[in-house]
Every structure is written in structure tokens, then in C-alpha cells.
Amino acid sequence: MLISYDNQNEVVFSPIKQSKSVTVCVKKNLFMKKLIIFFPFLMLSLLVFGQNRQVAITFDDLPATNASPVAMVEIIDKMVNTLHTEEIPAIGFVNEIKLYQKEKILPSRVDLLKKWLNAGLELGNHTYSHVFIDRTSIEEYKADVLKGERITRPLLKSYGKELKYFRHTQLRTGPTDVYRKALTNFLHQKNYTIAPVTIDNDEYIFAFVYMKAKEKNDEKTMAWIGEEYIRYMSEIFNFYEKLSLEFLDYELPQILLLHANDLNADYLPKLLKMMEKKGYSFISLEKALEDKAYQLPEVTSRRGLSWIQRWMLAAGQNPKSQPEVNEKVMEMFRNMR
């Protein structure tokens, strides 16, 4: 583009006499030249900063995944602090089993949910015991959903809010059509909105090795895992942005799955920065679900896929798999388990 313009420019800048029209033409061309020089930078900044991308951030396994009682408090404190400071309208999905000790409610654990709500964040149901759907009958699953709202529902009510959202454990919605339809119908009867995920990822692998390094106070390894995590998540975002474009012809408001863990307690600020650099603004789950894509038919799958992949499979397409965790992190994961 620059070359062809320079060619044109030579013709304009060889005037025989400086008539008014030539002066205007020269000025116009100077402006054009500047515009063309800055055009690539303009486009690049529009691409990076002007994308108007949107994402709803969701956290599973509240109050926290695999954490000691002390770590649980630290995780919630740090995450709430970041989300509140950055004004992110996130939602956390609770496993109420973690609010009990020997059948007795632990008020200190319920207080962690109150901290979450005090910061203006939302809560949803993620089953009582973090059900493994493949080993659970539909009747047991339904009972676990109801058991999982006994504290959260009245707690939300005391904040003038309603328990509205349900997130399937391991994103598994039912191994068969019959199971999935029965569970979906039950959830709708109970006035739940299913919370899908479009940006799925293997963050739990990073979180596990990070937790192990933290237990040993191995700060060097923690920092390395943290940086790898941000790099990996950036690749994951690229992948699902492209998948959305390929299938829908636009980038839908994404729904990101994360967990309440040490890794996100420490690295959420950097993760948010990564998203902001890609042009994301942060929206509520409710707002994301207004997009028409979330009404698309989905396939029944035994796997916990992204909803974009489920829609693609239902439309007879064969979606690619998401980027894999790098081999060094995988090796640490295998050795530490």
C-alpha cells in the first residue's frame, strides 16, 4: 500500500507551477501520506484495543477448591479484593458440602460467601457434593442439587437476591439424551438458568502444581507456573475467539470458567490485564446470556466441552480441540499427583 502511494506521490509532487489547486492537492496528499504511514498503527491499535470484546467471569467450587481452612480465607479475601477493586461482576458457584463439618454448618465458611456477596458478586449452585454424574443416578443428582441450595438460597434472599444459576460439575450435563433432558427439565422446573461455559480450559492443572509449589514455599516455581498460566490462558482465549468467529461469524460474549483457588487468588490481576489487552470488558453472566447464540441446540456429550463445541457438534461440524497444557507443566502434574 505504501509503495503504490509513493508512486502516486511522485506524480503529485512534480508540479510545474504552484496553482491553488496544486497546493490543496499537495496538502491533501501530505495528509494522506501521514494517514497511510499511521494506518497500520491505527489498525493494530483498533484490533488490540478496539475489539469491544465481552466476557463474563465465573468461578466454580466456592468457597475454594482443595484448600485448607486457612487457605480458603486467603483465597476468598484476595479474589474478592481484586474483583471488587476492578469492578468485575463475577459469579461464584458453591458446593455447600464445604460449608459443613460433620453435618454441622460452619459459620466461618458461610462468612466467606457473605464476603463475596458484600462485594456485590453473585452466587449460584454447583451441586452439594460436586457430583460425579457418571456414577450418579438422576434421582440422586436431583437430590444433590436441592441439598446444594439450603444455605445459599436463603443467604441470597437476605441480600435481596435470588438463587438463579446452576453450573454442572465438570461441565457434564448428562451421559445420555434421556439423562440430560430429565436433568435440564428438572433444573428449569426449579427456576434455574443453566450457566454454560464457552472458554473452557485446563486451569485446574496449573492450579494443582501451583498449590504444591506454594506448600513448599517454592517461590521460583510458583512464579514460573504463574507466567505459564497467563501465557496458556491467552492462547485459550485466541482459540475460542477464532472458534466463535468460524462458527457464528462473530465473537459472542464469552463465558469464562475459572475456579476459586490459590493460583487465581494470586494471578487474577495479571489474568484480567491479559483480557483487557485483548480488548475485553467484563459483563455479568445475565448480560452474556442475552446473546442469541446461547439459544442454539447443543449435543449430548459425555465430555465437559465448551458450549461452542457443543453447538458445532449439534450442527454436524467437527470442532478442533482446545490448546494443550505445555509438557513441562503436565509432567509436574503427573509427578505431584
Beta carbon of residue 92, minimum distance to Zn ion (angstroms, whole number): 11
**CA-CA-CA-CA torsion sign (203, 209, 214, 217):** negative
**Distance of closest approach, residue 51 Cβ to Zn ion, in angstroms:** 30
Nearer to Zn ion, 121 or 133 (CB): 133
Cell of 170: 465438570
Q: Which residue do the cell numbers 450418579 mark? A: 136
Nearer to Zn ion, 67 or 222 (CB): 67
CA gap 174, 180 in Å, rounded = 4
Write the secondary structure of 261-277 as one string of H (helix), E (strand) and C (coil): CHHHHHHHHHHHHHHHH
Please report, as ranges, the residues that interact with Zn ion according to CB under 5 A.
Answer: 60-61, 169
CB crowding 200-233: b at 16 or more within 10 Å, else e: bbbbbbbbbbbbbbbeeeeeebbebbbebbeebb
Residue nearest to Zn ion (CB): 60
Q: Would you call 194 helix, strand, or coil by DSSP? A: strand
Minimum CB distance to Zn ion smaller for 169 or for 201: 169
Nearer to Zn ion, 169 or 254 (CB): 169
CB of 167 to Zn ion, least distance (A): 7
- Taking the complex as a whole, the smallest distance from the CB of residue 311 to Zn ion amounts, in Å, to 22
Are 272 and 86 within 8 A, CB to CB? yes
3-state secondary structure of 100: strand
The Cα 100–Cα 207 span in angstroms is 24
Q: At closest approach, how far in Å is the CB of 4 from Zn ion?
A: 56
By beta-carbon proximity to Zn ion, the closer residue of 60 and 122 is: 60
Closer by beta carbon to Zn ion, 152 or else 169: 169
| CA–CA distances in Å: residue 7 to residues 2, 4, 11, 280 | 9, 5, 7, 40
Min CB(228)–Zn ion separation in Å: 22
Measured from the CB of residue 60, what is the shortest distance to Zn ion in angstroms?
4
Which stretches within 171-255 are classed as H helix?
177-189, 203-215, 219-248
Rounded least distance, CB 140 to Zn ion, Å = 17
Quote the strand ranges of 1-103, DSSP E: 53-62, 91-94, 100-101
C-alpha span between 239 and 235 (Å, rounded): 6
Q: How far apart (Å, rounded) are the C-alpha atoms in residues 197 and 187?
A: 17
- Closer residue to Zn ion (CB): 130 or 164: 130
Nearer to Zn ion, 49 or 132 (CB): 132
